[in-house]
Amino acid sequence: MKLKAALSVCATAALLAACGGGSDGNKSGGGGDSEYVDGGTFTMSVAGDPGKLDPQSSASSQLFAVNQIAYDNLVSVNGDTGEIESQLATDWKVDGKTVTLTLAKGITCADGSDFTATTAADNLDYVGDPKNKSPYLGTFLPAGATAKADDAAGTVTITLAQPAPFVLNGLGSLPMVCAKGMGDRSSLADSTDGTGPYELTEAVPGDHYSYKIRDGYTWGPDGATTAENGMPDTIVVKVIQNEGTAANLLLSGDINAALIQGPDAKRLDAANLFSVSTTAMVGEQWYNHNDGHETSSADVRMALTQAIDFQELASVATSGQGTLATTFASLDPSACPGDSVSGSLPDQDVDAAKSVLAGKKLTFLYSSAAGSALSAAAELAVQEWKAAGADVTAKGVDETALQGAIFGTGDWDIAWVPLNVNSPDQLVPFLSGPGLADGGTNFSGIENKDYTDGVAQASAMNGTEGCDTWLGAESKLVSAADIVPFANNEVKTYGNGAEFEYPGTFSPTSVRMVAN
């Protein structure tokens, strides 16, 4: 069985929770010898509510997961090799600043209407218009890009404002909305209008979301269809914030899939459950650079960085199973593997930190849904900051509250928000450029000329030829203590009564129900 899925951005909490992925892992109780059964209900857990369901409105991991159920991307990315594969488009060509995609024939929306090249172009222009404030502008669609359609030929032509070496990778994560939803964006808040393999039938915010399968779907990632043996008739996404509760429900068979990062993983491994895993960033320390915060000072940011033993912090955050982070874009398959972090990370110097941090009052946010290991790491960080003289108030908050602070109130000085992507260009709008007040996604207000100069140089290079330059640009952020990626780990998504792939984000076309 050949299972593929679109690779995506994912991040813990407010942005894009460390996410499961890859096709490797413990496949005991199934694997290639499993007996698949058609129909039934597949129930998966998410750690927070996705909120407004408009698929182009938020970069939260919860929304990103449910997007894949009802919506398609123009292309997909092979989760093992990183190669571009088909989805809505069957052919593609990049020629300098021109990208041409040819759509598959016979694509239909859930309401039976046709999905046309014009609709695809309308999606691209919507995301590309800064006034719509889509977080995917600059992340999955390069800023300044425009699109034109030829419905007779079934082609979409994208004209880029400047070269974009990983433009197809971005399009592999950008969900397409059908014409009706494009005409009435408000209707997408609590319903779906897509071409995906399932359509939403019930939404109970804070509790669950139910989807039913679509017959005749043939344009999934790398040609995936809904006619495969073992696919469920219904997918239910349940909101379960407590990881221990999710693990219990998984062991009892009340749910079929859950991402588990903390100590509960040990008992799931002992139960020999099916699992898939990927390397992902689970610890990334952001500082609020915006005016009105102590962390707007470069000296304070450096001191907060110098106060921490990041090697120990990474060990605690991953229950001794992970490593220090090495790159910003670490999600498999990483377009630019390497190390932009360890050689640039300022050395621990508590005495130097004390001279700056004495009496500073700071608010530190982290996700309460990220597991007990991360909570223990947060306690350790607070101890080290207090030992350096800072008065730090730590708040473990749910994903909705964390997103509200990061993108709304701005009531934070330090935040742990791992942003997981697999190509470095997808990070640029979060690490530079316009802030939230100006319609951008640079929520922490980072301004680092060495980074932006490096990005400009790397963007002019072809694909992976620019990787050393991309990594060099990232290292400038670390050495300046503008942001600190600090922990990677193998993150597992476990299954009971079903098998699936989870390369970067949930892949509904890969789900197979397993006979008891």
Contact 217, 188 (CB under 8 A): no
* AA identity, residue 477: L
Q: What 3-state DSSP class applies to 98?
A: strand
487 with 322: CB under 8 angstroms? Answer: yes
What are the DSSP calls for 370-430, one per residue?
A: G-HHHHHHHHHHHHHHHHTT-EEEEEEE-HHHHHHIIIII---SEEE--EE-SSGGGGHHH
Integer Rg of the chain from CA: 22
Q: With CA atoms as reference, report the closest residue to 303 among 365, 346, 364.
A: 346
Give the separation between CA 63 and CA 54, rounded to whole angstroms. Answer: 9
pTM confidence score: 0.82
List alpha helices for 48-199, DSSP H: 61-70, 117-128, 167-171, 179-183
Residues in contact with 472: Cβ distance below 8 Å, sequence separation at least 6, in sequence order: 340, 454
What is the residue-wise DSSP string for 334-376?
PSS-S-SSTTTSPPP-HHHHHHHHTT-EEEEEEEGGG-HHHHH
Q: Please tell me the distance from the alpha carbon of residue 17 to that of residue 14, in angstroms, as a whole number.
A: 8
Structure tokens at 152: 């007779």
**What pLDDT, on a 0 to 100 scale, did the predictor assign at position 9?**
36
Strand partners, 239: 46
Residue matched to tokens 């809505």: 88
| CA gap 6, 506 in Å, rounded | 9
- Phi, psi dihedrals of residue 502, rounded to the nearest 5°: -140, 60
Q: Is 137 exposed, middle or buried (0-12, 13-18, 19+ CB in 10 A)?
A: buried
The 3-state DSSP class for residue 296 equals helix
DSSP letter at 312? H
* Residue 210 DSSP label: E
| 16 within 8 A of 419, measured Cβ to Cβ | yes
Return the pLDDT at 312.
97
Which structure tokens are listed for 502?
A: 């989870």
Per-run averaged pLDDT (10 residues), the chain, 516 residues: 31 36 40 80 93 90 89 91 93 96 98 98 97 90 96 98 90 96 97 98 96 97 95 97 93 95 88 90 96 98 98 94 92 87 96 96 92 92 98 92 91 95 90 91 96 95 91 98 95 94 81 92
Dihedral, 174, 178, 184, 189 alpha carbons, nearest 10: -60
Residue 33 has a pLDDT of: 66
Contact 200, 192 (CB under 8 A): yes
- Distance, first Cα to last Cα, the chain: 20
Give the Cα separation of 158 and 150 in Å (integer).
12
C-alpha count within 13 angstroms, C-beta hemisphere, residue 388:
30
Phi, psi (rounded to 5 degrees) for 289: -80, -10
DSSP string, 220-246: SGGG--S-STT--SEEEEEE---HHHH
Q: Is beta strand 419-420 parallel, antiparallel or unpaired with respect to 391-397? A: unpaired
β-strand pairing of 234-239 with 208-213? antiparallel
Please check whether residue 320 is in contact with residue 455, taking contact to mean a CB–CB distance below 8 angstroms. Answer: no
